[in-house]
Each structure stands twice: as structure tokens, then as C-alpha cells.
Structure 1
Amino acid sequence: MTVERAVFCFAGIMVLLSVALTHFVSPLFFWFTVFIGANMFQFSFTGFCPAAIVFKKLGLKTERECGAQA
């Protein structure tokens, strides 16, 4: 799995988790969903993603690194 795919997977899990928490625990978890969306929005402009940094430190390679090995 590449960093890019891991970030999409992680974001999807977080969105689903936040929706479930909003539905079953408290409507205030709506703000968790807003935070996730805002982080994805700022990433599209800045390229900065804390989750990607963590995945890189865990040893995942980027798509570019995987392409260079082929």
C-alpha cells in the first residue's frame, strides 16, 4: 500500500467513524467531520498532511517512489 492510498483509506475510516459517533453518541461529533473535511480541503492547496507524514515514518512508500523502482 502506498502513502496516498493509506491517506485515502484513513480519511474514509475517520469520516465513517465521525458519522457513526454523531448518530449514536452526540450530535456534537459533527465538528469532528467538519475538521476532517477542512483538513482534506487545506491539503488540496498546501500538500501538507499530518497522516501522510506518519505513514512515511511507518515505512510506506509514495507512488513516485514505487514507480521509480519499476
Structure 2
Amino acid sequence: MTSWQLVRMIGGTFILLSLALGVQGSPIFHSTNWLWFTAFVGANLLQSGFTKWCMLETILRKLGARPGN
């Protein structure tokens, strides 16, 4: 699996998890502050689309993930 695929999978997982934790009626840790984490992940994905640089992808490559387009 390439680094860009991992970035998208991790980003999607973080977004879904933080939305589930922020929604009313969530059985664990319900807080609307989790939505700030969702915004942070989304802003980083948006910024990486413009700059073509992503900190998570850099970290994953250093950990041994294959680079890919």
C-alpha cells in the first residue's frame, strides 16, 4: 500500500471516528469539541491538496511506506 493511500485511509478513519464521538447520543465521550478534530483533519487534507505536501505522508514514508502517486 502506498503512502498516499494510507493518508486517505487514516484521514477518513479520523473524520468518521471524530464525527461519531461528537454526535449527540454517542455512548462514549460525547462532546462537540470532537468536531474541532474533524475540522483539523479536513483543513490538513485541503492544505495538502493545494501545496502537494502532507506531514502524515512524510511520516509514513520515514516509517517505510512506499511512495506513490
Query: TM-score normalised to the size of structure 1?
Result: 0.82
Q: Number of residue pairs matched?
A: 64
Secondary structure of 1:32's aligned partner: helix
Identify the match of residue 47 of structure 2 among 42, 51, 69. 42
Gaps of 5+ in 1: 65-70
How do 1:17-56 residues align onto structure 2 when only pairs under 5 Å count?
Answer: 17-23=17-23, 24=26, 25-56=30-61
Report runs of 4+ in structure 1 exceeding 3 Å deviation: none
- Whichever structure has more helix as a proportion of its residues is 1
Tell me which residue corresponds to 1:8: 8
For the aligned residue pairs, the C-alpha RMSD in angstroms reads 1.2
Secondary structure of 1:33's aligned partner: helix
Residue 62 of structure 1 and its aligned partner are, at CA, apart by 1.2
